């Protein structure tokens, strides 16, 4: 590999020595073009002494092309036979020079790519991103082609080709250089975008994740427009006439592209209003999933079935978007069914224990939660659990919900509370007929119920003595923790 590089460097250095005005002529001609050079009429000596079809005369001016730029006569480096023989509009020495020029172009391409990769290898390793590394390896290809086009352009000026042949070649090389330049700009934009995308992953906001793809696509459209205009100017295509033709058909184009324009304005609306960001979980028009990308025409949502849904941006401006990803808290609701043989004291202890678990959980909302006996179902006493957890995404929500439910199961096991499940209890009995059964005293039965209820509920309270709103306090200190006072007190019940 090192020998190949040394040979390539020597060959490239030799070509530079042969042409002292190598790069200056290429850049000047790329800007001015062969059409701006003024032809100088040949004098008598050059007309008589030039190399003609009969092979007579000297070769002093055989390399002149009729331009005012003086170029070295490469024909003097070749034997006389190469300077006199002519095939397919070119002399033999010019064909040899063309082959050598093609070889030098390929050599310059490989050499430039190798040098750039060697210089930037360490830096891209420090970046450590696969997307950046992929874009970097693709970038040197068009840069090498651009260098190759410059070498061929400068070498074509030195060959002294006929004016028609030289004009065609220079036009073709100009277009080739423009295409290589546009390609280089495309990959350079991708390289910068990949680098910025990695930096955006470390920020708290997702707005930059949404902005980088839009700016990348805008820059690519701008580069294509500049390349098309430059190519048209190179080929002497009248830009003014082309724009005038677009003006005549502007109405038809606007009518045909009304959907594209509405989608473009929709993307601007999404960018400015920011109803959602990359990675948000949204619901809109029957579509539910995670936003993957936002483009000029449409946005893409990855559903929970792993399918990809494309939504036109124009519809997002008028649709109702439910952004589940912007929730500060995520709600957890559950019904804890315990068996009917659970005592009231066990239910009170269990409910208060669940509240304490919520107070001590690192992700739960401490200022709003409810744990109460809420119903009597066919198979269980239903305790309602209603709380919120502060989680950035669904994965964290599931993890913390799992932790909370496991703690509730451990608490129930410690208190001797059993969870109920659908059961049927059958009681088999034999009806007894007694002739001397005492009559039921409904009055005494009602009175007994009233006395028991009064004992349980306590004396009636006036409106001034009723308990106020529910207060949500912090975790209760226990033995071994700071703030332990030697006893545990429970919240007073109504009437106590």
CATH number assigned to the domain covering 330-415: 3.30.70.100
User: In this structure, how many other beta carbons lie within 10 angstroms of the beta carbon of residue 23?
Assistant: 14
pLDDT digit string (tens) for 353-407?
A: 999 999 999 899 988 999 999 999 988 999 999 999 988 788 888 999 999 999 9
pTM: 0.46
pLDDT of residue 62: 40
User: In this structure, how many other beta carbons lie within 10 angstroms of the beta carbon of residue 166?
Assistant: 18
Could you tell me if 377 and 337 are in contact, meaning their C-beta atoms sit under 8 angstroms apart?
A: yes
Cα–Cα distance measured from residue 110 to residue 77, given in angstroms and rounded to the nearest whole number: 27
Q: What is the full DSSP assignment across 212-236?
A: HHHHHHHHHHHHHHHHHHHHHHHTT
Helices 130-158 and 163-201, axial angle in degrees (round to 10): 160
pLDDT of residue 26: 43
Cα–Cα distance measured from residue 480 to residue 478, given in angstroms and rounded to the nearest whole number: 6
Question: Which stretches within 60-204 are classed as H helix?
Answer: 80-84, 92-127, 130-158, 163-201
Any idea which residue has 């324009």 for tokens? Answer: 261
pLDDT of residue 101: 74
Could you tell me if 63 and 74 are in contact, meaning their C-beta atoms sit under 8 angstroms apart?
A: yes
Cα–Cα distance measured from residue 176 to residue 146, given in angstroms and rounded to the nearest whole number: 8
Cα torsion through 188, 191, 196, 198, rounded to 10 = 180
pLDDT of residue 108: 78
Strands (E) across 245-321 are located at 281-284, 287-294, 298-303, 308-312
CA 354, 355, 360 angle in degrees (round to 5)? 95
pLDDT of residue 66: 41
pLDDT of residue 123: 61
pLDDT of residue 64: 42
Using the CB atoms, write b or e for 374-404: b if 16+ within 10 Å: eeeeeebbbbebbbbbbbeeeeebeebbeeb
Question: Which CATH fold topology does 239-326 show?
Answer: SH3 type barrels. (2.30.30)
Give SS3 for 386. strand
Residue 195 C-beta-side C-alpha neighbours within 13 Å: 14
Using the CB atoms, write b or e for 102-123: b if 16+ within 10 Å: eebbebbbebbbbebeeeeeee
Domain ranges of the chain: 2-202, 239-326, 330-415
Could you tell me if 337 and 382 are in contact, meaning their C-beta atoms sit under 8 angstroms apart?
A: yes
Regions of the chain where pLDDT drops below 50: 1-31, 33-71, 435-440, 442, 484-496
Could you tell me if 98 and 159 are in contact, meaning their C-beta atoms sit under 8 angstroms apart?
A: yes
| Sign of the alpha-carbon dihedral angle for 107, 108, 109, 113 | positive
């Amino acid at each position: 590999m090192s020998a190949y590089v040394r040979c390539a460097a020597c060959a490239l250095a030799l070509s530079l020595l042969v042409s002292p005005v190598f790069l200056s002529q290429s850049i000047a001609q790329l800007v001015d073009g062969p059409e701006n050079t003024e032809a100088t009429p040949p004098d008598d000596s050059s007309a008589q002494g030039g190399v003609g079809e009969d092979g007579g005369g000297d070769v002093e001016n055989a390399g002149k092309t009729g331009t005012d730029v003086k170029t070295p006569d490469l024909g003097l480096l070749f034997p006389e036979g190469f300077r006199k023989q002519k095939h397919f509009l070119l002399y033999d020495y010019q064909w040899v020079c063309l082959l050598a020029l093609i070889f030098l172009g390929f050599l310059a391409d490989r050499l430039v790519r190798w040098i750039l990769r060697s210089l930037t290898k360490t830096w891209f390793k420090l970046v450590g991103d696969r997307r950046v590394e992929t874009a970097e390896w693709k970038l040197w290809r068009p840069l090498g082609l651009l260098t190759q086009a410059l070498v061929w352009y400068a070498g074509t000026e030195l060959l002294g080709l006929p004016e028609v042949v030289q004009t065609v070649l220079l036009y073709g090389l100009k277009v080739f250089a423009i295409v290589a330049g546009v390609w280089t700009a495309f990959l350079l934009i991708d390289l910068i975008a990949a680098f910025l995308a990695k930096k955006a992953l470390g920020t708290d906001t997702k707005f930059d994740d949404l902005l980088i793809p839009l700016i990348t696509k805008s820059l690519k459209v701008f580069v294509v427009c500049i390349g098309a205009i430059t190519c048209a100017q190179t080929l002497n295509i009248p830009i003014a006439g082309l724009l005038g033709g677009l003006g005549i058909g502007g109405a038809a184009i606007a009518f045909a592209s009304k959907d594209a324009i509405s989608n473009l304005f929709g993307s601007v609306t999404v960018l400015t209003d920011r109803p959602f960001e990359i990675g948000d979980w949204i619901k809109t028009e029957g579509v539910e999933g995670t936003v993957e990308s936002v483009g000029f025409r449409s946005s893409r949502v990855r559903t929970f079935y792993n399918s990809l849904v494309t939504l036109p941006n124009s519809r997002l401006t008028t649709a109702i978007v439910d952004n589940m990803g912007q929730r500060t808290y995520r709600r957890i609701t559950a019904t804890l069914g315990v068996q009917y043989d659970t005592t009231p004291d066990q239910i009170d202890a269990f409910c208060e224990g669940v509240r304490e678990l919520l107070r001590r959980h690192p992700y739960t909302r401490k200022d709003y939660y409810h744990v109460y006996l809420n119903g009597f179902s066919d198979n269980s006493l239903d305790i309602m659990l209603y709380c919120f957890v502060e989680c950035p995404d669904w994965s964290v929500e599931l993890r913390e919900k799992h932790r909370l439910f496991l703690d509730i199961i451990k608490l129930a096991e410690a208190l001797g509370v059993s969870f109920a499940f659908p059961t049927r209890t059958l009681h088999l009995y034999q009806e007894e007929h007694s002739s001397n059964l005492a009559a039921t005293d409904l009055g005494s039965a009602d009175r007994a119920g009233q006395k028991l209820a009064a004992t349980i509920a306590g004396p009636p309270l006036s409106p001034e003595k009723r308990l106020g709103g529910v207060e949500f306090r912090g975790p209760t200190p226990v033995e071994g923790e700071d703030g332990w006072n030697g006893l545990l007190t429970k919240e007073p019940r109504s009437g106590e």
